[in-house]
Amino acid sequence: MRMGLLTKMLLFAVVIATLPLIVSGQSLIRIARDELKSTANEQLITTAQQITDEFNDFYEFSLFSALNLIRNSIDGDKLRFDEKLTMLRQGISDLPDVVSLQVFVQGAPVPIVVTQKSFLERLSEKFDDPLALLRVEPEVDLAGEENERRASAISYIEEIDSWLAAARLPLKTGISGRAATLYAQIDLSKLRDVVQKHPFAQTGKIHIIDEDMNVLFSTGNGDIKNKAMVKDAIAMLESGSRAISVKPFTLEDGKISLGAISFTRPFPWAVLVEKSEEDAYLPVTEMISSLVLWLSLGLGAATIGAILFSFGLSRPILAISNAAVQIAKGNLDVRVENVKSRDEIGDLAKRFNEMIVQLTERLELQKFVSIGTMDAIQKSKDRSVSLGGERREVAILFADIRGYTAFSEDREPEEVVEVLNHYFQEIGELIAKHNGDIDKFVGDQVMAVFHGENKAKDSVKCAIAIMQSMEDSKASLPDAGLEIGIGVDMGEVVIGAMGSADRMDFTVLGDHVNLAARLCSKAAPRQTLVSKVVYKSLGKKLAKKGVSLPAITVKGKANPIPIYGFDFDI
């Protein structure tokens, strides 16, 4: 069958116009789905953590400290009975969430009970003997302060729609030589408000359940459709696990729900936060619909344009395609240029260039984090880092610029920053050259971490090189008058993500980090102080450059610390 030239041009224009757009659209959709998944998971974790923190703070900080103060005040026989009763009444008046305080003395016929008047009036409207609901049956004493920080005897009063929790604080001395216990009935209405008024409730669901699968608080009607999520939460409650868990769950109707599970410390509860996958990926669905519509319009424009401007249509599309190939090869300097058409093709070129700029910005942002942070992100599942750490043996180097405060007092901030960056540039290059990783910059101080079998040698060689570099810099910056002091220690530390779910820092923590910082503060200008374990790990040639110094006393150490010094002049 003979195909005319116009038909060939039309088919060629259609293929050239649609194929790159479809490939680019798929890439954008995939990137958008990944970003939305990460954002949804982060939102779930953040919400679960916020709810958990609110619950923990409500009991541990708002209530327990005050109840402990009341317990200590009435403990023993220093106060008379009327004074203790006054203390209980004053205490409950200052704690609106505590509806009753009860002191049970072993052998006494009845306990001492004081109540919150407003709550008692609510009960009086529904019950003939409201005080009976507020009394707590004495329990067998459980040893340990940890049990005091956990509420027990969670009960629901349906008539007034209120949940109560009992806090139990045994008196350490007792009263009149008899064992005694302070009980507090706590109204949990504030916690229900925390759940129902949380902003996440507008787009997702929040449920609080106990180990018996009772729904205490919920943003919905109390019916939890996500049975798999509840099953996981109950299993984790029974096992005593308290780590935050986030993953997708399959509902009974086959749909996917994204959920996060966390656990409160003072209450035996699980916090369930969930959002349907449809809602989480709604922007992607809208993007696909928009892309389909846009491709349809583009196809019509390409067909008409092929008749009149076939070359003009193919050139910008090829330019976008070539730019996509260059990006795939890692060239982010490429741009889609000379596309001046005011149509979908021009919009695509503009958006494509904006995407390249955003990718470049991401690469630039990587310069603000350590190599260890990037490794942790790349090795973690879904490119998300969880809070926590692991033990490793590393060498830690602290370098502090001396004379910086005096230098910065009489100079403009721009000049101070320029000089500081000059030193940091050289120090950073030397740390990288000696197989180290900059953990952080703190003012005029640098913290670096060294791994591997030669970490001790690398850290000390790096320290000597830094001191040499500082000396050489005096020629280019004669007016600065800056010196450097360095401290190095080696040992087992914890490396990992520290902080909160929405703002964390990947760093190292431990006694050896503190000691390295202390050695840095003790080091004289142009001097490096190292601990004994670092010095003993050096080769003979390098160790000869150091000298044994009198042991020093540092904060946090009971005994003097043996140290060795490496001066620049040695």
Task: Please state which of the ranges 62-76, 246-260, 303-317, 550-564 shows the lowest mean pLDDT.
Answer: 303-317
Nearest CA-CA partner of 93 in 61, 66, 53:
66
> Lowest-pLDDT range, 243-257, 387-401, 541-555?
243-257
Contact 349, 339 (CB under 8 A): yes
Structure tokens belonging to residue 472: 């050489």
By the 10 Å C-beta count (0-12 exposed, 13-18 middle, 19+ buried), 98 is classed as buried
**How many angstroms separate the first and last alpha carbons of the chain?**
90
Own/partner contacts of 45-48, CB < 8 Å, gap of 24 or more, are 45/244, 45/246, 45/260, 45/501, 45/502, 46/501, 46/502, 47/198, 47/200, 47/204, 47/206, 47/260, 47/273, 48/244, 48/246, 48/260, 48/261, 48/262, 48/271, 48/273
Residue ranges of the alpha helices (H) in 274-337? 277-280, 282-328
pLDDT tens readout for residues 264-315: 888 888 998 888 877 766 666 666 677 667 666 766 666 666 555 555 555 6
Rg over CA atoms, the chain: 34
- What is the residue whose two structure tokens read 């003009």? 312
CB count within 10 Å of CB 332 equals 15
Q: Within the chain, how many helices (H) and strands (E) appear?
A: 18, 18
**Token pair of 510, please?**
């431990």
Pinpoint the alpha helices (H) of 369-454. 371-379, 404-409, 413-433
Instruction: Detail the DSSP E strand segments found in 359-482.
Output: 388-402, 436-442, 445-450
Q: Which of 510, 513, 507 is nearest to 495 (CA)?
A: 507
Query: Do 182 and 76 contact (CB within 8 A), yes or no?
Result: no
Kind of pairing, strands 483-499 and 527-531?
Answer: parallel
The whole-number pLDDT of residue 482 equals: 79
**Phi, psi for residue 456 in degrees, rounded to 5:** -65, -50
Supply the pLDDT for residue 4: 45
- Domains of the chain and any CATH numbers: 192-280 (3.30.450.20), 282-367 (no CATH), 371-567 (3.30.70.1230)
The share of the chain scoring above pLDDT 70, in percent, equals 75
| 1: confidence class by pLDDT, cuts 50, 70, 90 | low
Q: Which tokens in the block code for residue 470?
A: 């500082």
Based on the number of CB atoms within 10 Å of its own CB, is 427 exposed (0-12), middle (13-18) or buried (19 or more)? buried
Contacts for 170-174 with beta carbons within 8 Å, 24 or more apart?
170/141, 171/71, 171/74, 171/75, 171/76, 171/103, 172/75, 173/75, 173/76, 174/75, 174/76, 174/105, 174/106
CA atoms within 13 A on the CB side of 72: 6
Q: Cβ neighbours of residue 208 under 8 Å, at least 6 residues apart?
A: 51, 191, 195, 215, 216, 217, 218, 269, 270, 271, 272
Tokens standing for residue 290: 């928009």
How far is CA 390 from its chain centroid? 16
Written as six digits, the tokens of 354 are: 């904006």
pLDDT at position 318: 67
Is residue 361 pLDDT above 80, yes or no?
no
557 alpha carbon, distance to own chain's centre:
31
Stronger pLDDT, 564 or 296, i.e. the higher one: 564
pLDDT of residue 6 exceeding 50:
no
pLDDT in tens, 335-348: 777 676 677 767 77
**Token pair for 285:** 């669905």
What type of residue is 458? Answer: D
Q: Which pLDDT tens digit goes with each residue over 390-449?
A: 788 999 999 988 877 777 777 788 888 888 888 888 888 899 899 998 888 888 889 999
Tell me if 490 sits within 8 A of 459, measured CB to CB: yes
Q: Give the burial string for 337-352 (b: 16+ CB within 10 Å, else e).
A: eebebeebbeebbeeb
Both tokens of 435, joined, read: 């197989």
- The owner of tokens 């600065």 is 480
Pairwise CA distance, residues 307 & 448, whole Å: 64
Res 75: pLDDT: 86
